[in-house]
């Protein structure tokens, strides 16, 4: 089993990429060197009235410098607190957590929707296959420049202000794209539609799921989703997203 570490990371820099969306680089001791695409870290708040750590995907890794980047949306008090941390501030983190994406050498779609886009950046950096990167936004773009040079990038916006008007599948159809494997992260309705799209075309499909978490390390069952196979841990049709996931083969999980 992969090792995980609890560390005091140090903020290298933080910037607001778009309204309420922040990019934070953290200097770690061991975590960055071990991390891979699709894994996440859990960050503790300094305000101890918020005891549970907040899970955030790893967006980019600089293993040589033992640094990692997260990109997150301010959703509540925890992420609001993180957004105030400036250069040099310390933050307690645990990681790397979860399984990460399997890396196959097949012509691929990398699909990110909204705040599901960040983990696709590190995946695009790690995969060496032919990559078509499809990014879906409501309106404001962020991170799209970072994908430049990593594959062919297609953008969809719900309001049509940039790229294809509509969602990521509209962008795939409009551009007549094909692939043998799909990797996706984003809101559940998007993942549900991608699962169906891939199944209809016989494509291998890997989805990164999100659920509210408590322990983040497989101990509390707060984060389970329904699965086809019985979980060896509980002997019911559950998978812990924090432990067996967050990345699952699409057919393994029931996302409605």
3-class SS of residue 146: helix
Least Å distance between CB 86 and ligand FAD? 18
* 11-50 residues near ligand FAD, rule: CB under 6 A: 40
Closer to ligand FES by Cβ: residue 171 or 223: 223
Out of 6, 13, 46, 77, the only residue in the binding site for ligand FAD (CB under 6 A) is 77
Site for ligand FAD contains 56 (CB under 6 A):
yes
Cβ neighbour number for residue 226 with a 10 Å cutoff: 12
CA distances to 66, 124, 144, 163, 225 from 141, in Å: 28, 18, 7, 11, 30
DSSP H stretches of helix in 48-117: 77-83
Site for ligand FAD contains 114 (CB under 6 A):
no
Least Å distance between CB 213 and ligand FES? 4
- 218 contacts which partner out of ligand FAD, ligand FES, none, CB within 5 to 8 A by kind? ligand FES
Site for ligand FAD contains 244 (CB under 6 A):
no
Q: Closest Cα to residue 106, out of 38, 205, 14, 15?
A: 205
Residues that bind ligand FES in the complex, under the rule CB under 6 A: 213-216, 218-223, 240, 242
Six token digits for residue 67? 């640094």
31 in Cβ contact with 93 (< 8 Å): yes
Residue 143's Cβ-side half-sphere holds a number of Cα atoms within 13 Å equal to: 29
Closer to ligand FES by Cβ: residue 148 or 212: 212
Out of 14, 57, 99, 167, the only residue in the binding site for ligand FAD (CB under 6 A) is 57
54 in Cβ contact with 45 (< 8 Å): yes
Least Å distance between CB 136 and ligand FAD? 15
Site for ligand FAD contains 213 (CB under 6 A):
yes
Site for ligand FAD contains 100 (CB under 6 A):
no
């Amino acid at each position: 089993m992969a090792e995980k570490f609890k560390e005091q990371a140090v903020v290298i820099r933080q910037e607001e990429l778009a309204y309420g969306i922040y990019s934070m680089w953290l200097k770690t001791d061991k975590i960055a060197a071990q991390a891979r695409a699709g894994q996440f870290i859990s960050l503790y708040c300094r305000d101890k009235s918020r005891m549970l750590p907040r899970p955030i995907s790893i967006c980019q890794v600089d293993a040589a410098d033992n640094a990692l980047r997260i990109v997150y949306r301010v959703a509540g008090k925890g992420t609001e607190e993180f957004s105030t941390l400036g250069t040099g501030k310390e933050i307690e983190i645990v990681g790397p957590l979860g399984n990460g994406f399997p890396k196959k050498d097949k012509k691929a779609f990398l699909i990110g929707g909204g705040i599901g886009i960040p983990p696709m950046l590190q995946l695009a950096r790690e995969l060496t296959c032919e990559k078509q990167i499809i990014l879906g936004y409501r309106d404001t773009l962020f991170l799209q420049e970072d994908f430049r040079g990593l594959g062919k990038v297609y953008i969809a916006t719900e309001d049509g202000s940039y790229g294809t008007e509509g969602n990521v599948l509209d962008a795939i159809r409009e551009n007549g794209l094909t692939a043998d494997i799909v990797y996706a992260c984003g809101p559940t309705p998007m993942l549900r539609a991608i699962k169906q799209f891939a199944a209809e075309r016989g494509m291998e499909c890997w989805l990164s799921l999100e659920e509210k978490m408590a322990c983040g390390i497989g101990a509390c069952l707060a984060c389970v989703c329904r699965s086809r196979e019985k979980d060896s841990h509980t002997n019911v049709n559950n998978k812990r997203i924090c432990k067996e996931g967050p990345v699952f083969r699409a057919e393994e999980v029931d996302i409605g």
